[in-house]
Amino acid sequence: MPTISTPSKIAGTKSHGANVVFSGSTSDEREAVTADIIKKTGATLVPPYDHPDIILGAGTQALELEQQVEDMLAADPSLGVPGKKRLDAVIAPIGGGGMLSGICTALHGTGIKVFGAEPNFEGSNDAELGLKQGRRIEKVKTLTIADGLRTPVGEIPWSIITDKEKLEGVYSVSEEQITAAMRLAMERAKVFIEPSAAVGLAVVLYNEEFRRFVEGEGKEEGWNIGIVLSGGNTTMEAMAKLFQAPAKAMERAEGKVTVNGEHVAENVPG
């Protein structure tokens, strides 16, 4: 695991009996350490995303989501778009691409459109850029807050997401938009998620290109969109850092500074 992994992710992994070996944060550094472990121990590598079995396993969540939405709308049609009994689209994060390519595979032929979501900090939107350039980007070096998505798309997932019949497109969002989506999920939905899990929600809320596409396809009727929130590997300390207000904003909240920056006496009624 990268040395900069969140403490809760490290502790959670160890709690399952794993022997955690640390590496650098780039995919090249991780793969070098992995190769060394295999050489020394004869261990078998179970790829995190670049393997057919992993991809197919990840795709089962799409089947569950599809069925759950149909059951939910059958029980209460008012929860969705009037007259529609199923999903129109699903959006999920993409890092190495195992999960998204699995979802693409599971929903292929159903008529449900699939979209990918990425952070765009320091070129972390390698899937989006790669699709526009017509080539897989093999190296990604970024410190986006969405740390679970800091890896380039694998070869097998790339062969799936480049199929336009399986993936409609990939959209990206800023660090600020990811943080805002996390806040909404926690404050309104009471769902505790990590930054990587919030990128799909952030795209739906803030990416204007995606929103225009949905408006054009869904017309006045609209769409039922399923958003995959995958992962809660973070800590309260990390969350506190993300949501820490700037000093001036905090002073205003405490009644010390006006919106014009003027200092005033504290706790003065009115």
Residues 182-195: tens digit of each pLDDT: 999 999 999 999 99
Please report the pLDDT score of residue 255 as a whole number: 46
Please report the pLDDT score of residue 245 as a whole number: 61
Domain 52-263 indexed as CATH 3.40.50.1100? yes
pLDDT-above-90 percentage for the chain? 73
* Segments making up each domain of the chain, as ranges: 7-41, 52-263
Chain-centroid distance of CA 122 in Å reads 16
CB-count exposure of residue 15 (10 Å: 0-12, 13-18, 19+)? exposed
Residue 189 phi/psi, 5-degree rounding, is -95, -10
**pLDDT interval class at 266 (50, 70, 90):** very low
Chain-centroid distance of CA 15 in Å reads 24
Q: What is the mean pLDDT of the chain?
A: 89
**pLDDT interval class at 253 (50, 70, 90):** very low
Sign of the Cα pseudo-torsion (195, 104, 61, 201, in order)? positive
